[in-house]
Amino acid sequence: MRRFIDLADFQREEIEELLSLARRLEQRPEPQALAGKVLGLVFFNPSLRTLASFQSGMARLGGTSFVITPGQGTWQLETRIGAVMNGASAEHVREGIPVLASYCDALGIRCFADGKDLARDLAETQFRSMDELVEKPLVNMESAMNHPCQALADWKTLEDLSVPRRAKFVLSWVNHPRALPLAVPAATVHMAAMRGMEVVVLRPEGFQLPAPIMERARRAAEAAGGSLRETPDREDALSGAQILYAKEWGSTAHYGDVEGDARLRAGLGDWCVGDAWFAQAAADCRLMHCLPVRRNVAVADEVLDGPRSVVQREAWNRLTVQMAVLHRMLAPRHAH
């Protein structure tokens, strides 16, 4: 495997093999599998789980890693092609990224959406400007519209919990002080669709997911024998739900318009998941969230501290699936 950029690039069988490898490494560690290998990690944006799990995962496989954080310890990096660089950025990704790739055996890049121009972000303009410069194996540690490591970790979590393939999976918008990127909702809806689930996106008006994301996920759902729909009706969505996946994101109707987005979310304070949300759900309905989560804004303490929450298992699975991805990318053949 040379690229881990988007779950949609893989066949279902390939994903199942990755999950199987993740389980194998969970049970039978291979502390020398990546001896001598170096992973480079470039963070254009903050991280807690991603940073710690990639560094720990690489170490648990016998390899090492280094971290570069543009704008902090390193200068800002320019991504615009043809830029006259007389501003804040001291180096262009066209120099910086191939240099960093040359120092390591695989590279991970995190680069969130600009959040100003939806078409530009949907086209993954920034991530692609770097992707094309890297010949080494490359991992997407969250781009404008994707977060395949989170999606794969969540898929493994659903398997770990024996959630039936056809179960009802509700991705619900939840409240947040400001607009967040669409990467996790986009990756989540695609993952659940690819798994063949009954996927429902629950969100207030103005927060529908972009059409290209929904269309792509709908095709994946159809291919897997599942379904996908969107609704603003909480009761309709949650009735019989096996999974409530809570996530914050910005208004697509006011993309890049901070004030318009703020006006829209001002009246949405009740989109904070409490115990009452589960009234019509399946008895063992679980609460999923990729973290970080703002307590008592997005999800109430009573849910996060209660038995429905599986957020710790999701975070744990970031480590397990990323170790599988790194192993597949970097382990010598005979080690497979």
Q: What residues contact 292, with CB distance under 8 A and at least 6 apart?
A: 48
Q: With contacts defined by CB under 8 A, name the span among 43-51, 141-149, 154-162, 209-217 that binds a second copy.
A: 43-51
Q: Shortest Cβ distance from residue 204 to a second copy (Å)?
A: 18
Nearer to a second copy, 20 or 312 (CB): 312
Nearer to a second copy, 73 or 267 (CB): 73
Instruction: Give the three-state DSSP class for 101.
Output: helix
64 contributes a contact to a second copy by CB under 8 A: yes
Alpha helix (H) residue ranges in 104-147: 118-122, 125-131
Nearer to a second copy, 94 or 166 (CB): 94
Return the exposure string of 163-176: e unless at least 16 CB atoms fall within 10 Å of the residue's CB, then b: beeebbbbbbbbbb
Instruction: Give the three-state DSSP class for 29.
Output: coil
Residue in the structure block whose two tokens are 């400007």: 129
Nearer to a second copy, 84 or 279 (CB): 84
Binding residue (CB under 8 A) for a second copy from 238, 316, 325, 327:
316
Gap between the Cα atoms of 272 and 59, Å rounded = 38
Judged by CB under 8 A, the number of residues near a second copy is 63
126 contributes a contact to a second copy by CB under 8 A: no
Binding residue (CB under 8 A) for a second copy from 211, 274, 301, 306:
301
Contact between 119 and 151 under an 8 Å Cβ cutoff? The reply is no
164 contributes a contact to a second copy by CB under 8 A: no
The Cα-based distances of 315 to 247, 287, 312 in angstroms read 15, 13, 5
69 contributes a contact to a second copy by CB under 8 A: yes
Q: With contacts defined by CB under 8 A, name the span among 135-143, 212-220, 239-247, 304-312 that binds a second copy.
A: 304-312
CA atoms 282, 159, 59, 10: torsion sign: negative
56 contributes a contact to a second copy by CB under 8 A: yes
Instruction: Give the three-state DSSP class for 138.
Output: strand
DSSP 8-state assignment for residue 83? -
Binding residue (CB under 8 A) for a second copy from 113, 197, 319, 325:
319
Q: How many residues does the chain have?
A: 336
Gap between the Cα atoms of 14 and 147, Å rounded = 17
Q: Shortest Cβ distance from residue 311 to a second copy (Å)?
A: 6
Binding residue (CB under 8 A) for a second copy from 84, 266, 279, 283:
84
Q: Shortest Cβ distance from residue 5 to a second copy (Å)?
A: 22
Q: Shortest Cβ distance from residue 327 to a second copy (Å)?
A: 15
Residue in the structure block whose two tokens are 């991530």: 127
177 contributes a contact to a second copy by CB under 8 A: yes
Gap between the Cα atoms of 162 and 61, Å rounded = 27
φ/ψ of residue 66, rounded to 5 = -130, 160
Half-sphere exposure of 171 (CA within 13 A, CB side): 30
Q: Shortest Cβ distance from residue 331 to a second copy (Å)?
A: 15
> For binding to a second copy (CB under 8 A), which residues are involved?
29, 31, 35-36, 38, 40, 43, 46-49, 51-53, 55-56, 59-60, 62, 64, 66-69, 72-75, 78, 82-87, 90-92, 94-96, 98-100, 102-104, 177, 291-297, 301, 304-305, 311-312, 315-316, 319
